Amino acid sequence: MQAAAEKKVLLKVDHLKQYFPVKTDSLFKPKAYVKAVDDISFHLYEGETLSIVGESGCGKSTTGRAILRLDEPTGGKVFFSGQNILDLNKKEMRKLRGDLQVIFQDPFASLNPRQTIKQILNEAMAIQNVVEKPNRMSRMLELLGYVGLPAEALDRYPHEFSGGQRQRIGIARALAVNPKLIICDEAVSALDVSIQAQILNLLKKLQHQFQLTFLFISHDLSVVRHISDRVMVMYLGKVVEIADKKALFDSPLHPYTQALLSSIPVPNPTLKRERIMLKGDVPSPINPPSGCRFHTRCPFATEKCKAEEPALREMGEKHFVSCHYAEKFR
């Protein structure tokens, strides 16, 4: 990793909000909203991997989709290389998509079943017009080489491949346009561990090879620990903690992060740990709890937590926590 001073910010998310209206049964009741992402800010340095972790409904995937403008954000700004991409028109946005690629959990759903791998890669290059037509064939072979697929794969269809291989195709397609940032949305979650390891190794290798920046969205904390430089923990649409990987995993400051880390079953029966058992379920994001959103499940919650929303405070070297009592947990 580079020294802090040299780091260049590639993506800056500023007060991003993503609300979805909920259908109500009454004509007269005010519209309710799911505040899937509620005023979050963070940034991503060039060449690093930032992971967003959290449980279902925390807004991690919504954040990724909002950055890609797959859903139009309700508010906030998203700067990519200094430019607010939410201001871009359709044409400019299409151009930008060459720099901004995404890999989804289910590669099968995002690959056209009637296209051969050749057509899929060709189309990706044609849309962005990154490679001249005569050079495309050699580029495709090059791409397959990068992701570890044989040249014969070109004339086959997605259904002829296994889950891991399809994810490789998805990666090749993303690479085809020379992106700067790749958003990996649960990209390895559906894979068996042995295959997952292959894909994780591949992603790391490609990152070094092409100086890629990853925004890695996942619910699997072990995977996140393996791949990330920095980690951001979300809960009910808010950022609760963001820090370097080591700081976050070794000395988490937010009670939610601590509980989350202690909940993961570890494949080592000799390791006996103190488990913080959280009570109850994650509350509904339609009517999130007042104050600190975690207060309903937090073992340390006080009256202040119910009333006041904690700000994201810097508690150590680039270690931000949104908890009134973060000092206590140091």
Partner 1 sequence: MIEKNKPILEVKGLKTHFSTKRGVSKAVDGIDFTLHKGETLGIVGESGCGKSMTSLSILRLIPSPPGKIAGGQILFKGKDLVTLSENEMREIRGNEISMIFQEPMTSLNPVIPVGEQIAEALRLHQKLGRKAAWDKAVEMLKLVGIPSPEKRAKQEPFQLSGGMRQRVMIAMALACTPEVLIADEPTTALDVTIQAQILELIKDLQSKLGMGVIMITHDLGVVAETCDTVAVMYAGNIIEHAPTDKIFEHPKHPYTQGLLDSLPKIHEDQEELRTIEGSVPSPYHFPAGCRFASRCPFQQPICHEKQPELLEQKDGVKVRCWMYTDQWTGPVGKKEAVK
Partner 2 sequence: MMMMFIIRRLMQTIPVVVGVTFVVFFIMQLVPGDPAVLLAGEGASKETIQAIREQLGLNRPLFVQYFDYLMNVFRGDFGVSLKNSQPVLDEILVRLPITMELAFFSIIFTIILGMTAGIISAIKPYSLTDSTVMIIALLGISLPSFWFGLMMMYFFSVKLQILPVAGWDSILHIILPALTLGAGGAAIVARMTRSSMLEVIRQDYIRTARAKGLRERVIIYKHALRNALIPVITVVGLQFGALLGGTVLVESIFAINGLGRMIVDAIRMRDLPMVQGGVLVASLVFVIVNLFVDVLYRFFNKRIELN
The region that residue 58 occupies, defined by phi over 0 for left and psi between -120 and 50 for alpha, beta otherwise, is alpha
- To the nearest whole angstrom, how small is the minimum distance from the Cβ of residue 60 to partner 1? 12
- To the nearest whole angstrom, how small is the minimum distance from the Cβ of residue 276 to partner 2? 32
**Unique residue bearing structure tokens 């050699």:** 138
Closer to partner 1 by Cβ: residue 129 or 284: 284
Q: Give the number of other CB atoms < 10 A from CB of residue 71.
A: 13
Q: Considering CB distances under 5 to 8 angstroms, the limit depending on partner class, which of partner 1, partner 2, none binds residue 23?
A: partner 2
**Does residue number 91 form part of the binding site for partner 2 (CB under 8 A)?**
no
| 3 state SS of 261 | helix
Q: Considering CB distances under 5 to 8 angstroms, the limit depending on partner class, which of partner 2, partner 1, none binds residue 26?
A: partner 2
| Nearest in space to 319 (alpha carbons), one of 61, 16, 4 | 4
- To the nearest whole angstrom, how small is the minimum distance from the Cβ of residue 53 to partner 1? 10
- To the nearest whole angstrom, how small is the minimum distance from the Cβ of residue 98 to partner 2? 36
- To the nearest whole angstrom, how small is the minimum distance from the Cβ of residue 256 to partner 1? 9
Closer to partner 2 by Cβ: residue 6 or 25: 25
| Nearest in space to 43 (alpha carbons), one of 310, 229, 285, 249 | 229
| 3 state SS of 312 | coil
- Considering only residues 128 to 157 of the shown chain, the ones binding partner 2 according to CB under 8 A are none
Within its chain, how far is the Cα of 246 from the centroid? 18
Q: Which spans of this chain sit near partner 1 (rule: CB under 8 A)?
A: 55-56, 162, 192-198, 200-201, 204, 219, 221-223, 225-227, 246, 249, 259-271, 275, 277-278, 281-282
Which DSSP state fits 31?
A: P
8, 23, 31, 90: which one contacts partner 2 (CB under 8 A)? Answer: 23
Applying CB under 8 A, which part among 3-11, 22-30, 137-145, 255-263 lies near partner 2?
A: 22-30
Q: Give the number of other CB atoms < 10 A from CB of residue 161.
A: 19
Bridge partners (DSSP) listed for residue 243: 231
Closer to partner 1 by Cβ: residue 130 or 190: 190
Six-digit token string for 305 = 């937590």
- Considering only residues 24 to 53 of the shown chain, the ones binding partner 2 according to CB under 8 A are 25-27
Phi, psi of 32 (to 5 degrees): -100, 155
| 3 state SS of 90 | helix
- The alpha carbons of the chain give a radius of gyration, in whole angstroms, of 21
Applying CB under 8 A, which part among 19-27, 168-176, 301-309, 317-325 lies near partner 2?
A: 19-27
- To the nearest whole angstrom, how small is the minimum distance from the Cβ of residue 278 to partner 2? 25
Q: Where does this chain bind partner 2 (CB under 8 A)?
A: 23, 25-27
